[in-house]
Structure 1
Amino acid sequence: MTTKTIKPYDLAIIGGGINGMAIARDAAGRGIKTFLCEKDDFGSATSAWSSKMIHGGLRYLEFYEFSLVRKALKERDILMKLAPHMVHEQRFILPHLEHLRPKWLIKMGLFLYDNLYKSQFMKKSSAVELKNLSIKPSFKDGFEYSDAVVDDHRLVIELAHEAKRKGAELHNYTACEKVELKEGLWHITLRTADGKTKLICAKDIVNATGPWAEKFMKEHMHLNTNKSLRLVKGSHIVIPKLYGENKAYTFQDENGRVVFTFPYLNDYTLIGTTEEEHKGDPNDATISTEETIYLKSIISEYFGKNLTNDDIVWHYSGVRPLIEETGKDNRQTTRDYSIEHLQYGNNTLINIWGGKLTTHRVLAEDVLKSLDYHKTWTATEPFANAVNFKHFAHGLINEYPFLDETTAKRLVKSYGKRSLDILKDCKKDKDLGKHYGNGLYEIEVKYLINHEWVKKPESVLLFRTKCGIGMTSSQIEEFQTAFEALINPQKEKPSAENSA
């Protein structure tokens, strides 16, 4: 097939993380012929390794980033309307340490946080006494405020469903190898997981490769840029449930760095994050000994519990692509984004620099404005599968009484209305199929393979469901074997004669 016979796309997006997928949803919803490719699984890099927060960024007020905080607070409310099944309010406790900040300064900061954008959903902040809580009794008082939490990876997949529903063409495990501008179009050479190459063309292209943005420009487009990224690694650890209260905590160390603890997956506590500059491939990021010691020390300081490495059930690290700012350290560097518009005749290249999970929707909107599409829509149309979490979970438990409550709630948080598609043929517990552990059943795995672009077992265990966290090594091995049989049902098992 010659390039003249290839029907071009209006827009090609390179990168299937939170920002790329939000752009695909927005563009497809405007009738723009949209293509997106991702070299790995969707939402499996930076977008999967955040602190799982949809938040304004209380600590950004310290650096006078009022515009970013207001924008993020507004987006927090919008996301609670668009996806109420998966974005939920979380109360945070901030213990007061007089030697770090006086009470009047914290009160002023929380007043701004409550009022820079007045939420329709969140409770106001308040001063609290820290009685009957799990932190050390030496912490007498503090403050309580609200933000929101979400499964970051599931949010990317939800956006993928929306983008596909609107007509976008999405391909994971498809790497962009080369981009050239000729004959009035961007010519994009792709390589799929099976090693085959494919050529597509597009009028405009978006570089949404996150921490790879600079490298993509130089190595795959052979273009220079005056923008520079600072790659900062953030690591988290997961331990068995540390405390009983359904609260998150916001802690500060003596250097002003912030660490959060969250209730996580019913049985665990999530602790993070750190800030270490990262060199090399972002996919190679992993927690360092120093980061582990630091996070354990915060728990010792505030809870009086001395964690060992054996207490750590899971850990993960992600690389944040921060816009380089001379004279600022990692803590001070902005978490806002910059959209670079480069024009080559009638063709446009958009580079996305920086950004954060919370502002993905408005970032996408700004990208489309940069491409001269000004009619907006994504702030008001809820996701097609959005439901009221409490009501829908209650109904699901009544309709499928053989499903345990924890699994039913996880399904609603993860899939919304689509949880009914998973369970539609189930009349009794045996219809769920084989149970692999932690509430993961064969029927859900089949759904993920058929409807959620899943090609590898880790995509099920650690990304789409998180059910792999806490599984034993034998359970994981058993699941991996079962997964191969499910994804390759026609593959014949070798006979004893042939395998001898």
Structure 2
Amino acid sequence: MALTDPYDILIIGAGINGAGIARDAAGRGLSVALVESGDIGGATSSASTKLIHGGLRYLEYHAYGLVRKALAEREVLLDAAPHISWPQSFVLPKAAGSRPAWMLRAGLFLYDHLARRHDVPGSSRVDLHNDRAGRALANRDALAFRYWDGWVDDARLVIANCQDAAARGATVLPRTAAVSAHHDGSDWAVTLSSGTTLRARRIINAAGPWAEDVARRVLGFNDAPALKLVQGTHIVTKRIHLGRDAFMLQQPDGRIVFVIPYEHDFSLIGTTERTIATPEDVRPTEGEIDYLLAAANRWLTRPLTRESVLHSFAGVRPLVLEPGKGESETTRDWQLVHHQGSHAISVIGGKLTTYRLLAEDVLGHVPSRRGKWTAGVPLPGGDVPRQPGERGQAAFRHWLEALIIRHEHYDPHLIKRLAYTLGTACVPLLDQGLGARIGGMWEAELRHYAEREWASCADDVIWRRTKMGLRLSAEDVAEIADWFAARRTG
């Protein structure tokens, strides 16, 4: 593309939706620019509950279509990104006075059969007296079920989509805000915070919680629906239960709270629902932390205290509330707002699990030389060798076993950490040597994050490219920060 040629599309927002659209568009032969005011995946898309799931509770509201397509996508993502995702079992005990047993059985039966399952088993009843999961729960007499969904590293899923987009020709510009845009009747001229102006034939506003603001302030439209911003807070504690199960815990207020194994040594507990005025207001509150502790302690054998909370974070869900429905009932499906006569689309809503389908929907409104292609194509890092008919999860396990044998001079725990972060991209690091130890990490991996994944500071690495922030000391973090500072001045 000549420097004076307009991009086919310019995407504002490099969360999971923007990253997925960029990847799909670049793979269709379109010229793509993706701009993001902060770090890639630095807001809601790295602050989710990290589940790829159908949404079991949405069955209560008869959202069968949404659940069906999300369940089908669960299998697609587990296959495409086996290095950063895996099947996750959930134990659902019945609370006194909560949803009746027949409703739980019926819901799980539907959940098992609404879409074909490849990588996850079906649900089953659990005897908490004899099952390991019961050790974590104070009430082992409760009726309980085990069902399956998927877990994914949300921030790394965004990075993988951006990497694939860039490999297919997209221009990815993190820490570069779209300041203003003007449509001249043919193309858009978009002025960036860097002072550069890019031209594009179409604009996709995928700014998530900022989508309404971008539509009005940057693009000059007043037809985007007003959003209700709902904050979801999570806390991280030491590992509550050494088994592999997560827990789906019903609460007296009708909500559910998840307790999920996290980064091997920790548990992730979430989430809450608190309305906020602007995305900038997002932050865990004392009340939300108390709520999550109380929610877990209603069930756990060993109660948690404030001192148990090692880390907390919050993300924002942008909802277009439907008349007569509360926040929990509101669909997590997406809406596309076509701004009249301007070749601009604002993307409203959506959920992590169905981001690829959302991208296909958006690209269905953009002329291109190629149609849908992302289903069945592994994401970067998940491109492990496969035997005929072998799916990604099994292929990754076999590949990892061989990698550990091949690099027997490395600690297997280190190989697993790198493999479950970078997938196949860890091979050249291991082959060529990891270099010096820097702040509890390795120079080769820091260089990879900086040169291949757009990381520019310690926080980018320790909270989004990895979750090493849970393990590193303040001195370690300072050493990593110094390494980035030396890169900038060198």
Same-fold call, TM cutoff 0.5: yes
Alpha carbons of structure 1 residues 115 and 142: separation in structure 2 relative to 1, 3 Å: same
Select 2:355's aligned residue among 353, 360, 383. 360
Q: Which moved more, 1:161-170 or 1:93-102?
A: 93-102
Which position in structure 2 is the counterpart of 1:412?
419
Partner of 2:196, secondary structure, is strand
* Conserved? CA contact 2:212–2:224, under 8 Å: no
The aligned residue for residue 47 of structure 1 is: 45
1:393 corresponds in structure 2 to: 400
Q: Which SS does the other structure have where 1:313 is aligned?
A: strand
CA positional deviation for 1:5? 7.5
Q: Tell me how far apart the structure 1 counterparts of residues 128 and 122 of structure 2 sit (CA, whole Å).
A: 18
CA distance in 1, matches of 2:361, 2:3: 32
1:256 maps to amino acid: G
- Unpaired runs of 5+ residues, structure 2, are 385-394
Q: Which amino acid in structure 2 is aligned with residue 478 of structure 1?
A: E
Question: What residue number does 1:26 align with?
Answer: 24
Give the aligned partner of residue 246 of structure 2. 248
Tell me the SS of whatever aligns to 2:432: coil
Q: 1:422 aligns with which of 429, 432, 437?
A: 429
TM-score (normalizing by structure 1): 0.91
2:329 to 329, 332, 356: 332
- Determine if contact 1:436/1:442 at 8 Å carries over to the other structure: no
Counterparts of 1:288 and 1:76 in 2: how far apart (Å)?
31
Cα 1:139–1:46 change in 2 (3 A) is farther
Separation in 2 of the partners of 1:260 and 1:24?
31
Checking the alignment, whether the CA contact within 8 Å between 1:93 and 1:142 is kept in structure 2 is yes
Question: 1:58-105 CA distances to partner (integer Å, 9 max, x unpaired)?
Answer: 000011111110010011111112112222000100001252122211
Give 5+ residue unaligned stretches, structure 1.
Answer: 491-500
**Native 8 Å contact 1:53 1:358 kept in 2:** yes
SS at match of 2:379: coil
Query: Per the alignment, in what secondary structure is the counterpart of residue 314 of structure 2?
Result: strand
1:34 to 1:100, Cα distance in 2 relative to 1, 3 A: same
Partners in 1 of 2:127 and 2:107 — Cα distance? Answer: 19
Summarize the alignment of residues 297-308 of structure 1 with structure 2, pairs less than 5 Å apart.
297-308=294-305
TM alignment of 1:257-336, pairs within 5 A: 257-280=255-278, 282-336=279-333
Instruction: Give the structure-2-normalised TM-score.
Output: 0.93
Q: 2:371 aligns with which of 368, 375, 393?
A: 375
Highest relative contact order (Cα 8 Å, sep 6+), 1 or 2?
2
Q: Does 1:147 align with 2:149?
A: yes
Tell me, in whole angstroms, the C-alpha distance in 1 between the residues paired with 2:437 and 2:192.
37
What are the superposed Cα offsets for residues 133-177 of structure 1, whole Å, 9 maximum, x if unpaired?
Answer: 211134433100000001000000010111111111111000000
Q: Residues 200-219 of structure 1 correspond to what in structure 2 (within 5 A)?
A: 200-219=198-217
Please say if residues 223 and 339 of structure 2, whose CA atoms lie closer than 8 Å, have aligned partners that are also in contact. Answer: no
> Residue 228 of structure 1: CA displacement?
1.8
Task: State how 1:100-249 maps to structure 2 within 5 Å.
Answer: 100-131=98-129, 132=132, 133=134, 134-192=136-194, 197-249=195-247
* Counterpart code for 1:350: I
The range that moved more, 161-170 or 471-480, is 471-480
Report the Cα distance in structure 1 between the residues aligned to 2:314 and 2:242, rounded to whole angstroms. 26
What is the aligned length? 473
Show CA shifts across 1:238-293 (max 9, x none).
0011111110000111111110011111110110000000112x244111111011
Q: Partner residue of 1:493? A: none
Aligned to 1:498: none
User: Structure 2 CA distance, aligned partners of 1:335 and 1:5?
Assistant: 39
CA drift of 1:372 comes to 4.4
CA RMSD of aligned residues (A): 1.7
* Alpha-carbon distance between aligned partners in 1 of 2:239 and 2:448, rounded to the nearest angstrom: 30
Contact 1:210/1:352 (8 A) holds in 2: yes
Which of 474-483 and 174-183 deviates more?
474-483
The answer as to 2:468 corresponding to 1:472 is no
Q: Does 2:463 correspond to 1:482?
A: no
Of residues 76-85 and 300-309 in structure 1, the stretch that sits farther from structure 2 once superposed is: 300-309
Structure 1: distance between partners of 2:252 and 2:9 = 47
1:53-92 pair list within 5 angstroms: 53-92=51-90
- Is the 8 Å Cα contact of residues 52 and 152 (structure 1) preserved in structure 2? yes
Pick aligned residue for 2:436 from 433, 438, 459: 433
The 3-state SS of whatever aligns with 2:233 is strand
CA distance in 1, matches of 2:3, 2:17: 31
SS at match of 1:174: coil
Is the CA contact 1:26–1:163 (under 8 Å) kept in the aligned structure 2?
Answer: yes
CA contact (8 A) 1:37 1:174 kept: yes
Q: Secondary structure at the match of 1:468?
A: helix
Structure 1 stretch displaced more, 198-207 or 5-14? 5-14
Cα drift, residue 474 of structure 1: 2.3
For residue 470 of structure 2, give the secondary structure of its aligned residue in structure 1.
Answer: coil
Identify the range of structure 1 (220-229 vs 103-112) with the bigger mean alpha-carbon deviation. 220-229
1-structure distance, mates of 2:325, 2:261: 32
